[in-house]
Amino acid sequence: MHTTTLPRIAFLGIGLMGRPMATRLLQAGYPLTAWNRTQSKATELATFGASVAATSAEAVREADIVITMLEAGPVVAAVVAASIQNLQIGTLLIDMSSTRQSEAQDLHAMLAARGVACLDAPVSGGVLGAEAGNLAIMAGGSAADFARAEAVLQAMGRPVLVGPAGCGQLAKLCNQLIVGGTLSIVAEALLLAQAGGADPAAVRAALRGGFAESRILEVHGQRMLDRNFMPGGQVKSQAKDMDNVLAAAAAAGLHLPMAELVTAHYHGILDTLPHADQSAALLALERLNPGKRVGNGVDRLPD
């Protein structure tokens, strides 16, 4: 397939995740215009063939598909509002940010009134997954819009349509609930092993392959043992997602006691360690247990 037959993409948000995601699209041959609030981050993609726009409105003017990868729902709403007059009728906007389910539904409605199609399609897999092009992509919207977007999404990972508008965000919140809860439990297991006299690294190795095996135990368990809290994901993102889990639960009439505990856990370190990796759940736990610590290494933390 020639590049000229591929849809033109505007990618808004060239951050920690947006940059490798946009790079995958460029490597797949998609013509892409990049925009970021800090323009230098977008300019870095010019090496891979991207055009760079000075404003979001300029970026979307000739796009067939617009992808947003931004910090939170209010930021998405503000960027889309600033660009909406330049969106052509029939354009498809794919919001891959992590937002509240209600915010995604509001976005769908706002764009539909303009004649613009929409998918909410948040991702899981972190920076490594984005770089490898194997993100889990959870899409909410119509089957027709998903079919239109599927090839583009496949350049970045494994897309699955999980339901109508807002359900992509709901699926992502289910993912983040499992991630946040498992991170906290892995931290407790390693600290218990250490405090009880076992070698936590050996305990982790012994658990691998059993029913306790998980990507969290594999990846973040090792990060905890190494005391490497340099960000892949970030505490502030996990805390935001947990807040959104509780909002979705309230909207569904549910009480989720474990989610409430995990949310409080992350808020306990949000003020002091917002940019640390989510595996800093271990640090939150150690603060609750003065004098108890996993290993003897020096903490690696972002500035």
Q: What pLDDT digit, counting tens, does each position of 159-203 carry? A: 999 999 999 999 999 999 999 999 999 999 999 999 999 999 999
pLDDT band at 73 (very low <50, low <70, confident <90, very high): very high
pLDDT band at 303 (very low <50, low <70, confident <90, very high): confident
**Helices 167-195, 257-270: crossing angle, 10 deg rounding:** 70
N-to-C CA span, the chain:
45
Write the DSSP assignment of 145-181 as a string of letters.
HHHHHHHHHHTTEEEEEEESTTHHHHHHHHHHHHHHH
Residue 127 confidence (pLDDT): 87
Query: Is 95 in a helix, a strand, or coil?
Result: strand
Looking from the CA of 98 toward its CB, the CA atoms found within 13 Å total: 27
Residue 233 confidence (pLDDT): 81
- Token readout for 87 is 């969106």
Backbone phi and psi for residue 122, each to the nearest 5 degrees, phi listed first: -65, 165
Q: Mean of the pLDDT values across residues 39-60?
A: 94
Q: Mean of the pLDDT values across residues 285-294?
A: 96
Average pLDDT, the chain: 95
Res 64 pLDDT > 70: yes
On whether the CB atoms of residues 273 and 286 are closer than 8 A, the answer is: no
Q: What pLDDT digit, counting tens, does each position of 223-277 carry? A: 999 999 998 889 998 999 899 999 999 999 999 999 999 999 999 999 999 999 9
State CA 246 to chain mean position distance. 17
The domains found in the chain, sorted by start residue, are 3-163 (3.40.50.720), 170-287 (1.10.1040.10)
Query: Is 111 in a helix, a strand, or coil?
Result: helix
Query: Is 140 in a helix, a strand, or coil?
Result: strand
Residue 298 confidence (pLDDT): 96
- Of 297, 119, 127, the closest CA to residue 201 belongs to 297
Residue 172 among the catalytic residues = yes
Q: What pLDDT digit, counting tens, does each position of 117-163 carry? A: 999 999 998 888 999 999 999 999 999 999 999 999 999 999 999 99
User: CA-CA-CA-CA torsion for 5, 8, 11, 17, nearest 10 degrees?
Assistant: 0
Q: Mean of the pLDDT values across residues 69-92?
A: 95
Residue 2 confidence (pLDDT): 40
- Token readout for 222 is 């090792």
Res 3 pLDDT > 60: no
Catalytic residue among 172, 236, 240, 292: 172
Please state, as a whole number, how many other Cβ atoms lie within 10 Å of the Cβ of residue 196: 9
Beta 135-140 vs 9-12: how paired, if at all? Answer: unpaired
Percent of the chain with pLDDT over 70: 99
Residue 284 confidence (pLDDT): 95
Query: Alpha carbon of 131 to those of 19, 27, 65, 259, 282: distances in Å?
Result: 9, 11, 21, 30, 26
On whether the CB atoms of residues 139 and 121 are closer than 8 A, the answer is: yes
Query: Is 282 in a helix, a strand, or coil?
Result: helix
d(CA 171, CA 239): 17
Contacts 24+ apart (CB under 8 A), 52-57: 53/10, 55/82, 55/83, 56/12, 56/82, 56/83, 57/82, 57/83, 57/85, 57/86
Q: Mean of the pLDDT values across residues 282-300?
A: 96
**Helices 167-195, 200-207: crossing angle, 10 deg rounding:** 130
